[in-house]
Structures are given as C-alpha cells and as structure tokens.
Structure 1
C-alpha cells in the first residue's frame, strides 16, 4: 500500500511538472485528453487515500479515549493478574495459554475445572476458581479470593457464554433467562467487582467476547444475538462512564466480534454453517487477536470476520434482508451448548 502510494505521488508530480510537449507523456501511450483523465483519477485516488488514512487515525484516537500516546511503562506483565471467565475450555483456555506465555497470572472463573492440558501448561500461573458468574454473591466471593491470593486484577476478560438453538416460540423461560444471565448480566457483576480497583490505580483493561451475531439477527438464534447486541451498548456506555464519570480514560475497553469459531457452541449447527460456505475460525486464532490487543495496550473493536459485517445496518433494507435470508437456515436444530 505504501509503495503504491509513493509511486502514485511520484507519478502525479512528474505529470504535473513535465510539460506536455516533452516526450515523457508519450511513454504512457495516452492522448492529451486521456492523460488529463488519468491525472484527474490519480488525484481522486490520492485524495480518497488521505481521507481513509485520516479517518483511521481519528478512529484509533477515539478508541483510545482521545489519549494520543499511552504510557506503556505502567504495565509489567509478570506483575499483572487477569481474570478470565469461561477460561477452562475453548477460546477462554486459548486466551489463558497466551496470557501466561507473557508471564501474566490468570484467574479462571468457570463452573468446569481446568483441562489437564491447561493445568500442565499453567504451572503456577493459572488458578481455577469455581464460580457461577450469574450470581453476584459468587462473583464477589471469587473476587475476594483472587485479591487474597494475587492482589487486585488489572485485566478482566468476559469470555464465558452459551448459545440456544431455538426459535422464539420454542425457547423456554429457563433457557431464555440463563442465556441473558450468562452472556450479558454477568458482565455487570464482574465489572462491578473488579473495576473499582482499576479506577483507583488508573490502569486496567476490560474485554468482552461478543459475536458477529451482534450485527445481524438470525432465525433460530434471536436470543443469542440480543445478548451480543447488549454487549455493544454495555461497552459503549462503559467507555463513556470511564471518561466522564470516573475520569479514567486510561482504562482500556475492547469488544471482540469473532465469526463462527470451532467450539462447542457450533457443534449442533456446523452442517448449517457449512451449507452457506461460511468460514470457521480456530479458537487459537481468536485468542491470539484478543491477547495481542491487551499486550499492545489498545482499546477498540476487534472484528474477526468480514469487515463489512459491522456496516450491515448501513446497507439498503433490501440488501440487509437478503443477507439475513441467505443465513436463515444455518440454525435449524434445537439445542443448548456452552462455549468457554
């Protein structure tokens, strides 16, 4: 991209300063009229590139809470503690493995014990705390234990989630309540538990695993999509409160949007995903992007899928509906599966 830009600028300068009577323009085998059109197109290309670049810089600046330059010296990875919900299996386990590769101590909140692989990989850097994250009392109890064992966590990764494969009419009240409690309400409990210490130290990073389902509601997984849309609003509001209520724009916030990922969440619907030729990510790739964001000290959104997904709502209504219709038969079974 940079080489192409340098070439385009150089070419434009040459075409602008070299008189048309010289042999140079003939090297392009263009008539004077076509040469004028070519130069005009080249100018528009450069203008659009500059606009795109400025937009990218402003977006990164906004994502960073209008802080132009961070003090990365505030982070010492071997002294940091990360809380990871749903960290025993799947994406969460991969996140834990990458965190400890940097020397970060990981406190895993889960209802399932650590896998043997994670136990052997973690050595003294991973500690399991059995915790029902849908209970504010249980989250507080786990928080007290973590602070007693390690001190105050500076990183919170809300990763735990479940998915229902049910229609609106078929989903039971119990399943509906559970999916909202696990996928959305629990984020309030963990943030309420661990954010105060981050505010006191003016340092922290809160990350949540959402989904591409936040951008489009699909038949058979409406409740799941609703919980992920809710996370978008939660992170937008959290970021605003950190800046304007608690005066702590230094605290990072990240929301992650993986596409279909090979975890227990998609086992029941994998054939449907394959029927629309949608890509399926490896949990390790998702985890790598998540931990890289933390190590780089960045806030913002991580879209792990088609970049156009975030702009679906800006498309014409007929095109939005075409996309939803195309995906309508991905989720046709009835199931409830957990993803860690």
Structure 2
C-alpha cells in the first residue's frame, strides 16, 4: 500500500538525517585518508612498482614475519631478514648490518620492524635481564633500525617504515605489563616519526605505518591459545596480518592498521566501568596459568 503524502512528509526529516550522517561519515573517511597521505592529494603508487626494491624485515624467520617476507617476494621485492638477537644490542651492530646490506644490495626503501618477544611475569617477579630484553627488542630496536636506514630514504625521498605493535598497546594487563608498555611506546614513536618526517626533515614522501594485530596464531600465544579459543575470542592467521601489511606497502599508504575487534582500539574512549570489564575479561585469558610464559624469559621470539 503506497504511503500517503502526510506519511511521506513525516519520513522526510528522518531521511535527511540519514543522508547527513552518511555524508559526514564519507567526509570523515576522506579527510582521514588525506591526512594519512601527509596532506598530499595524490598517492605515488607507481613509485613502488620498481623491480629494484630492497626490504629489511626484522623477525622474518617465522610467524607474521615469514608470511610478510613471502608476500614481498611475490611482488618482486628483494628481502633481507634480520634476526632479533643482533638488534637487541648496541646501535653499532645495526650499523654493521646496514653497511653490509648497502655494499651487497644497495640501500633499502622498505623497513618492517616486526621482531618481538613476550614474557608472562608479574611486575615483582620479572628478572631485570628479561625486562631489559623486552624493551630492547620490542621498542629500542625500532629506534636503532630507523636511525640506520631512514637517512637512505630521506636521500631518495622515498621509503616506507612499518612497525608491528599490538592491541596490547591500548591496555595494561596483569602478567604482561612489560609487553603492553613496549607496544604503547611504539604508538608514540611512530606518531613522532611521522611528525618529524614532515616538520623536521621536510620529507612527507616517506611513508609510516603501525600495525595493531589482535590475537594471532604465532609462538607468542602458544601457551595461552587454548584459553583464548575457550573465550571465543577470534585468533587470526599470520597470513591475514601479512596480507594487510603488504597491501599497505604496495598501495603506498601511510597510517594505522587495526586488525581485530574494533572496540579494543577505542577502549580509552569507553566509560571507565566498561574499560575495566574488558581488561578483566582479557586478564582471565592471559593469566590462565601465571607460571607459564607466553614466550619464555629471555627467549627471542619473532611474531
């Protein structure tokens, strides 16, 4: 039965409201994409189709890193895989690796900082050496590799620096405080790097990306995977994370990549009671067995 003129007139404000909301959403998405391109109108997509690209991937021997390496190679990109062990030491060791790469293959245009380790220790229990190693591998290694390889990218006005953080960056959980701290630090580091590229080095052409995976089937969650699945939380495959990462690089896009339940990324904006509810639920997964390490103390484990 067709609607009367009166009924149509009463629906008109509702339709207008929906249209305004739709336009606002589209405008917001367009502005976000523009901002992620460092306010550049055009994306230099074709510049990434060169057959001479060299990518450096840390922690590329298994898990997410290995899947990323495989996908980069499928695009014709030469890949150098760096183990986490040399990156957890002084900058001079990274410098030696960089010099060897340049002499043999040329300067890299892609840097993917993927290496990471995890402990499952309480604040009072974690050994100082394990705590130091977590910060060195998960956070300071990003600083070292960027200091080594960014100058090459600035000289060419071309490059992409990508880091792998975690949804743990948005909340601290019992038994993995060190891990959450390092991942929160990566958020500040990559945001600051993006700002310095624009305002200190005048080189917005160099892209930056930070990836926030949720639970991913790697060695980092082996000890607690059963608890994760029991909670019905989704567990991603490394290939799914790697696909999103490489697509971002090939498309020459900057920005954050959130892979997992969207509510976790916006946790800080939720009411306090709801934040605590989510943290408590996640803590139950992590502390199923507080004596079992996600990755044993001192063990370097790539994602």
User: TM-score, normalised on structure 2?
Assistant: 0.94
Q: 1:131 deviation in Å?
A: 3.4
Aligned to 2:12: 39
Contact 2:55 2:111 in 1 (8 A): yes
Alignment of 1:146 with 2:63, yes or no, is: no
Q: 1:278 deviation in Å?
A: 0.7
Contact 2:87 2:141 in 1 (8 A): no
Q: 1:273 deviation in Å?
A: 1.2
Aligned to 1:81: 54
- Cα separation, 1, equivalents of 2:199 and 2:253: 19
Moved more, 326-335 or 50-59: 326-335
Aligned to 1:27: 2
Alignment of 1:339 with 2:297, yes or no, is: no
Gaps in structure 2 of 5+ consecutive residues: 296-300
Q: 1:196 deviation in Å?
A: 0.4
Q: Aligned to 1:103, what secondary structure does the other structure show?
A: coil
Aligned to 1:70: 43
The superposition leaves residues 123-151 of structure 1 with CA deviations (integer Å, 9 ceiling, x where unpaired) of xxxxxxx8344331211111011101110
Q: Aligned to 2:168, what secondary structure does the other structure show?
A: helix
User: TM-score, normalised on structure 1?
Assistant: 0.84
Q: 1:155 deviation in Å?
A: 0.2
Alignment of 1:94 with 2:67, yes or no, is: yes
Q: 1:31 deviation in Å?
A: 7.2
Q: Aligned to 1:254, what secondary structure does the other structure show?
A: strand
The superposition leaves residues 97-127 of structure 1 with CA deviations (integer Å, 9 ceiling, x where unpaired) of 000001100000015xxxxxxxxxxxxxxxx
Q: Aligned to 2:80, what secondary structure does the other structure show?
A: strand
Q: 1:219 deviation in Å?
A: 1.6
2:185 to 211, 230, 236: 230
Q: More relative contact order in 1 or in 2 (CA 8 Å, sep 6+)?
A: 2
Gaps in structure 1 of 5+ consecutive residues: 1-25, 112-129
Q: 1:75 deviation in Å?
A: 2.6
Larger radius of gyration: 1
Moved more, 132-141 or 58-67: 132-141
- Cα separation, 1, equivalents of 2:5 and 2:89: 71
- Cα separation, 2, equivalents of 1:193 and 1:268: 35
